[in-house]
Chains A and B, each alone.
Chain A
Amino acid sequence: MRPPVPAVARAPTRRGMRRGVRGRSAGAVGALVLAAVMAAALIVGGPGAPVAESARAALSGMPWWRASEVAAITALGLHGLGPPPVDPTNRASGDPRAAALGERLFADPRLSATGAVACATCHQPSKGFQDGVALATGVGTGARRTMSVVGAAYAPWLFWDGRADSPWAQAVGPLERREEHGGTRALYVRVLATSYRREYEALFGPLPSLAGVPRDAGPFGTAAERRAWAALPPARRDSVTRAFVHLGKSIAAYERTLGYAPTRLDRYAAALAAGRRPRAGEILSADEAAGLRLFVGKAECATCHGGPRLTDDGFHNTGVPAVSGLPADDGRIAGVDAALADPFNCLGPYSDAPRDAAGRVAPAACGELRFAARGRSALLRAYRAPSLRGVAARAPYMHAGQVRTLRAVLAHYNAAPRAPRGVSELHPLGLTPRELARLEAFLRALGPDAAPEAVRVAGRRRGAARGPS
């Protein structure tokens, strides 16, 4: 405890020696007591006890995590996420040939009224498959923020309001919306026939004949396009629609190959799950770790952004302000009715969900749609909780890009303002400026180390079957 005193500098006297020995022994007693107590905490606490965990963590130089926190943190790691499920409503979902075709279609601007807008125009691969602007801009400007398509294969509902119940039903939606791709299904099937016939027919059989089908005809186009569509015999409309659906199913097969890039959180969570100290490259800084503690604790972020994808796939009214000048937006309460009425849903005639001899979809299929909550006041202005993976690179935030920065997002959740309509689920959190800064530091650690591109997780092979939904 004390440095040895040189004998020449001060010769020890009998009394001095006695005092030194007694002082040292008193210090040693203190140290012994401390050591004994720490050891007792380790031994008596037993494995898994919070104190033992804390003591072990302290000794190893890691932050102190309670057992409940360890469970909450390890639940966030990508190691807990299985392969992207195969969609039972899309027979081509796990087919690598469909994924290859879908990848080309995804980037093809001919799939638009102007010949200038592709899926990749808004879902830009270099930006994590979103566009970084408040409102999506295709042929015109829409009323919502572009969502990333990464991880779409895992989601039971797509779009901010969940008006599509499969990635292929999502993919065909924007193609016929006036402000997005702005074209018609007749136009798109013509593109398939001229540029993708061989690949398409190897997967889905012969393309329908387009003789007598106007270049622009569809149920959502201009008045002239709708008239042209209505004038076609029902069987022609059905065969064109079926080919259009196959286009969407190919794009969905491609999107299924887009997974999440591992982040430091995942490596940290995996180390924690394995009960070992994180190595270099797996370590969260003190601020990030403190932010993580808030994320799973006081700030309640993991309530909706839990699990390996950092989303509960649910719809929540969080009091996000309405944007003046945009049409009234009811969120999920309208989205669920749209999904139930969509002919491209799981129960519809274009779904590949298993059917009985009479052609009815099996009772065990399409559970998410059959048991969807609807008509509840809690669904008014409720929007899908997006994944927080790569969130720092995805400003502006919320369903119409209302909030510009991550800091402002955290301030919003901390303040819990009243919802413009409906009732917000939030309550004031009472986070201090320092805690908010730590949370922000943690959220910035949720991006991949390199470019914010998704990784191919499904590759060119079949994955696990999709759940009972």
Chain B
Amino acid sequence: MASSSPPLPHVPTAGLAPSARARRRTGRWVLLGLLVVLIVAALPMATRMFRPAPPPDVGTVKPTARGVYRVLLAPERAPVPLQRLHRWTVRVEPAAGTAGAADTAATVTVDGGMPQHGHGLPTQPRVTGRLPDGRLVVDGVRFSMPGWWELRLRVDGPAGTDSVTFNLAL
């Protein structure tokens, strides 16, 4: 009978009354059950722990680093395509007071990359025009893989030069 039992941690039972032995065996099963419950309950927590941290901030409207401008960034299409050239638009506004009016004298240069992989953008996007509402058109953006990408914009305008970094989770 004992040889056909499932292997369990050895607990000395010799010399105990049969009822005490049974109680101990029941206790072992309960302990085992609790252990399983604990492991299963900890799994989701563990998966969350090992999941890569999301990009810090994926907002598309941001003040520039020194607060000189407010910049609104938008992809031409959503979801943002992978491995395909596409267009973005950038709206630059003076930061103080005049929200809604685009700064049509400001120009923008674009850079970026994947901070977690240490590489830059696979292309060199640039401003190719301006829409009637004042938004700048940025062409030549291409993302080669999913993940956390940065688009870094340098703004040059009458109020000075400033920069802003946008995070994208693709």
Contact = CB atoms under 8 A, between A and B. Distances in A.
B85 interface: yes
Interface string A204-227: 000000000000000000000000
Which of A15, A51, A425, A469 is most buried by chain B, counting CB atoms within 10 A of its CB?
A51
A29 B30 contact: yes
A38 B144 CA distance: 39
A462 interface: no
A407 interface: no
A2 interface: yes
Nearest to A363: B128
Interface in A122-171: none
Which of B43, B119, B146 is most buried by chain A, counting CB atoms within 10 A of its CB?
B119
B18 A371 contact: no
B139 A34 contact: no
B47 interface: yes
B93 to A, nearest CB: 26
Given A23-B25, A37-B40, A41-B40, A372 B47 contact: no
Nearest to A32: B33
A interface residue count range (under 10 / 10 to 19 / 20 to 34 / 35 or more) = 35 or more
Contacts of B124: 371-374
B84 A468 contact: yes
Interface stretch (A88-96, A178-186, A305-313, A436-444): A305-313
A369 B109 CA distance: 18
B22 interface: yes
B6 interface: yes
Nearest to B34: A33
Interface in A1-31: 1-3, 5, 15, 19, 22-23, 26-27, 29-30
B interface residue count range (under 10 / 10 to 19 / 20 to 34 / 35 or more) = 35 or more
Contact of B120 (A68, A306, A363, A373): A373
Which of A30, A45, A314, A316 is most buried by chain B, counting CB atoms within 10 A of its CB?
A30
Interface in A342-390: 363, 367-368, 370-374, 376, 378
Interface string B67-106: 0000000000000001111100000000000000000000
Interface in A373-418: 373-374, 376, 378
A367 B6 contact: no
B134 interface: no
Q: Is the interface of B mostly helix, strand, loop or mixed?
A: mixed
Given A307-B83, A371-B85, A469-B85, A37 B26 contact: no
Interface in A203-262: none
Contacts of B33: 29-30, 33-34
Nearest to A37: B40
A170 B40 CA distance: 56
Contact of A425 (B21, B40, B85, B117): B117
Interface in B19-41: 21-22, 25-26, 28-30, 32-34, 36-37, 40-41
B60 interface: no
Nearest to B48: A50
A54 interface: yes
Contacts of A468: 84-86
A83 B121 CA distance: 27
A34 B35 CA distance: 10
A51 B43 contact: yes
Given A26-B29, A425-B119, A2 B5 contact: yes
B9 to A, nearest CB: 13
Contacts of A430: none
A312 B85 contact: no
B26 A367 contact: no
A12 to B, nearest CB: 11
B65 interface: no
A467 interface: yes
A193 interface: no
Given A363-B128, A374-B124, A425-B119, A1 B6 contact: yes
B50 to A, nearest CB: 9
B118 A19 contact: no
The 4 closest A-B pairs by CB, nearest first: A371-B140, A33-B33, A312-B144, A26-B26
Interface of B: 1, 4-6, 18, 21-22, 25-26, 28-30, 32-34, 36-37, 40-41, 43-44, 47, 51, 82-86, 117-126, 128, 139-140, 142, 144-146
15 contacts: A22-B22, A22-B26, A27-B6, A50-B44, A51-B43, A300-B117, A302-B145, A306-B146, A314-B122, A315-B122, A367-B85, A372-B123, A373-B120, A468-B85, A468-B86
